[in-house]
Chains A and B, each alone.
Chain A
Amino acid sequence: MRVSTAYGSRPSGGGFETFSWYFFRISGVLLIFLAIFHLFLNHVATDVSCTSYQLISIRYENPFWRLYDWLLLTLALLHGMNGLRIVVDDYVRTRGWRLTLQSAVGIVTLVFFLLGTITLITFHPVVGALGPNCIK
């Protein structure tokens, strides 16, 4: 049983778990703003049916939005997959499955980071064929 120190528990001793603990909090603060504004932009300011190829083409002319989306991608993926790593650590009891699933978490993180990053960097609109404004 933990005796209260008034503060919550905090990792000690350095190493990866301490880094992970601080990363959750730092990325979390940034993600609150990045993710909620992202939701507002694509579900409230314009309906999701209007986040068409045409809208993305116009938006991605400005490198700010590519950077914004890349930052959101990177922080959300690392924050979320680090959470999944801890869930696996909590619930998976056999050694073989722990090794397998922890490796899968690492591989999925890398693959989806590359897929998202490549999409953001290589996107070049097909000029003259941007498609409709909003999708009916």
Chain B
Amino acid sequence: MATLSIQATAEDDPYSIHLPPQESRVVMYKGQSGMWSWLLHRITGLGILLFLLIHIVDISLLGFGPQIYNEGIALFSLTIVRVLSLALIGGLLYHSFNGVRIMLIDFWPKGARYQGAMFVVVMILTIVCFLPMAYFVIAPAFGINPGNMASGM
């Protein structure tokens, strides 16, 4: 009865609350690997979005000329920002690979059966791709030139 009235409100008004009945909410999440992959996907997504908004602002400094733009970009060389860049790279790689896993679950008939194994593959791929990229990003913080300190293209 209560469910019916909630659904009716949700249909009338997209901004109203439309939750499932209390009983089914209690048993929704039991903490399997699917839950952790989902949670990580959401957290990395929000983190990447926060960076994107900051990045749009720092790129908009281009309009104020070379000095102001370069002062903004110089912040990215700070060690603390390099560490944050590592989080961005790790988050982006995970979100990309897990996105492929989600699409395989959606479109590949055996996707749901192998979702657990695919999660392991996602984590391995994330780490394998992260390590070499991380070296290039963090090495300058230790005074090491990884050979990319002169602008090419």
Residues of chain A touching chain B, judged by Cβ–Cβ distance below 8 Å, are: 1, 4, 6-8, 10, 25, 28-29, 31-32, 35-36, 39-40, 43-56, 58-59, 73, 76-77, 80-81, 83-84, 87, 93-95, 98-99, 102, 108, 112, 115-116, 118-119, 122-123, 126, 129-135
A43 to B113, CA, bound (A): 37
Contact of B73 (CB < 8 Å), options: A31, A52, A99, A133: A52
Closest 3 CB pairs between A and B? A131-B66, A80-B49, A53-B66
A36→B49 contact, CB < 8 A = no
Per the 8 Å Cβ criterion, residues 101-153 of B in contact with A are 102-103, 105-107, 109-113, 132-133, 136-137, 140, 146, 148-153
Which residues does chain B contribute within 8 Å of A40, judged by CB atoms? Answer: 133
Which residues does chain A contribute within 8 Å of B8, judged by CB atoms? Answer: none
B151→A54 contact, CB < 8 A = yes
* Residues of A contacting B: mostly: helix
Q: Which B-chain residue is minimally distant from A43 (CB atoms)? A: B137
Which residues does chain A contribute within 8 Å of B112, judged by CB atoms? Answer: 4, 6-8
A47→B106 contact, CB < 8 A = no
Known: A7-B106, A52-B151, A115-B57. A43 touches B73 (CB 8 A): no
Q: Which A-chain residue is minimally distant from B113 (CB atoms)? A: A6
| Extra inter-chain contacts (7) besides given A87-B46, A95-B17, A126-B66, CB under 8 Å | A6-B110, A8-B105, A39-B92, A44-B148, A80-B52, A119-B56, A119-B63
Contact of A49 (CB < 8 Å), options: B24, B74, B133: B74
Contact of A55 (CB < 8 Å), options: B107, B110, B151: B151
B60→A116 contact, CB < 8 A = yes
Q: Which B-chain residue is minimally distant from A31 (CB atoms)? A: B96
Contact of B70 (CB < 8 Å), options: A6, A52, A84: A52
Which residues does chain B contribute within 8 Å of A36, judged by CB atoms? Answer: 92-93, 96
On chain B, the number of residues with a Cβ less than 8 Å from chain A's Cβ atoms is 58
A25→B96 contact, CB < 8 A = no
Per the 8 Å Cβ criterion, residues 50-104 of B in contact with A are 52-53, 56-57, 59-60, 62-63, 65-67, 69-70, 73-74, 76-77, 82, 85, 89, 92-93, 96, 99-100, 102-103
A36 to B96, CA, bound (A): 9
Contact of A51 (CB < 8 Å), options: B73, B89, B102: B73
Which residues does chain B contribute within 8 Å of A119, judged by CB atoms? Answer: 56, 59-60, 62-63
Contact of A122 (CB < 8 Å), options: B63, B73, B133: B63
Which residues does chain B contribute within 8 Å of A49, judged by CB atoms? Answer: 73-74, 76-77, 140, 149
A45→B152 contact, CB < 8 A = yes
A47→B70 contact, CB < 8 A = no
